[in-house]
Amino acid sequence: MFSAQRSADAFQARFLSPTQPGQRGRLMPLHFQLDFQLDDVFDSIKKAQKAFDDEVWDLFQGAKERKWSPDRRPENMKGTRAGPSAESQLTWGGAQSLEMYSRMIEESENDVQTFSGTSALGSAAVTMYGEAGKLSSEEMEEELRQFRSFQAPVLGSPSRQISSAVELAELVRAKYGKYHDVAILRNTGQTAFNIYGPHLSQSSFPYTESQYLEKLNIIVAMLDDFDQAWYVKEFLLAPIVPRNGLPSTPRFDTAVTLRLNLSPTWRDVDKNKIEEWFSMPGIQSN
């Protein structure tokens, strides 16, 4: 009897709405009861999914990150999720971020470089103009350089460069939804711009917002020095597409990789600059 009374009281507290003092509640409509229960279920699923994602990341990537990328945050900020604050330089999404991304896409689409002149004819110039149209080896190399540069935006255009670490961070977030970790690595002849699964809003992410932007400042400087910022920017402004069996978005176990050495202008990068950058402490070269 006691158990039945407790069950009845619990039911009344959960599903009966009070009317006036001293009166018993009245039964809530069934659809309100169901909505109330479904909200609880969805809430629980979201929390469970979030906990699962964090545990999986820690299992597969966390140990590696702790070894190769130790937590650089001050002691009082370790284990704290980064987010919007009065000191934040990032937009953390919203209308401002979307407006910025849309503007850059528009600039990129409007910035079409034209390539014309007889130098573009190459060996066809010999057929049309005889031996007088034949290019010297130096002229041929210059023609090839111009042709490789054809896909790049014109010099001085906004889409040629990434203006700052904040712009790079916003480009990454606008495409993938989070401020993911990024790096430039060189390995067995390949030089790549990598976007990793870990992101700024994770409690385990090893950087504060300011440290994250300091890291991105170095990457922006490298891209500008190699004149490859346009290539990365073009990739980040393009839609997400499947990638030959690889994940099209950054995951805890697999990065999204853009090979800089496949850029049409990579051959024109000064090799000494590449060696200088990758000989610096903290710049990864395997």
Q: Is the pTM of this model over 0.75?
A: no
Is the Cβ–Cβ distance between 57 and 252 less than 8 Å? yes
Instruction: Note the pLDDT of residue 114.
Output: 47
176 secondary structure, DSSP code: H
Question: Per-residue confidence at 241, pLDDT binned at 50, 70, 90?
Answer: confident
Average pLDDT over residues 178-199: 93
pLDDT tens sequence across 142-165: 555 555 555 676 766 777 889 999
- Interval 200-216 mean pLDDT: 93
> Over 80: is that where the pLDDT of 214 sits?
yes
Cβ(119)–Cβ(127) below 8 Å = no
- Which of the four pLDDT bands, split at 50, 70 and 90, describes residue 90? very high
Residue 200 structure tokens: 């700024």
Architecture of domain 70-112+156-286: 2-Layer Sandwich (3.30)
Short-list 100, 279, 274, CA closest to 190: 274
Token digits of residue 254: 């697999």
Regarding predicted confidence, which is higher, 50 or 274?
274
On the question of pLDDT at 232 being above 90, the answer is yes
Q: Is the pLDDT of residue 73 over 80?
A: yes
CA distance 88 to 15: 44
pLDDT reported for residue 237? 92
Instruction: Measure Cα distances from 173 to 58, 100, 147 in Å.
Output: 22, 11, 32
> Is it the case that residue 252 has pLDDT exceeding 70?
yes
Smallest CA-to-CA distance from 159 within 105, 213, 114 is with 105
pLDDT per residue over 94-138, tens digit each? 656 666 667 777 766 666 554 444 444 444 444 434 444 455 666
Residue-averaged pLDDT of the chain: 74
- Kindly state the average pLDDT of the residues 212-237: 95
- Among residues 180, 195, 218, 184, the alpha carbon closest in space to that of 82 is found at 180
For the chain, give the percent of residues with pLDDT over 70. Answer: 55
How high is the pLDDT of residue 102? 72
Domain extent listing, the chain: 70-112+156-286, 114-151
225 CB neighbour count, 10 Å cutoff? 15
Taking the CA atoms of 194, 200, 204 and 205 in sequence, report the sign of the dihedral they define. Answer: positive
Q: Quick one: what percent of the chain has pLDDT higher than 90? A: 34
Q: Which residues of 117-156 are buried (b: 16+ CB within 10 A; e: fewer)?
A: eeeeeeeebeeeeeeeeebeeeeeeebeeeeebeebbeee
The CB-side HSE value for 280 (13 A sphere, CA atoms) comes to 12
pLDDT for 156: 63
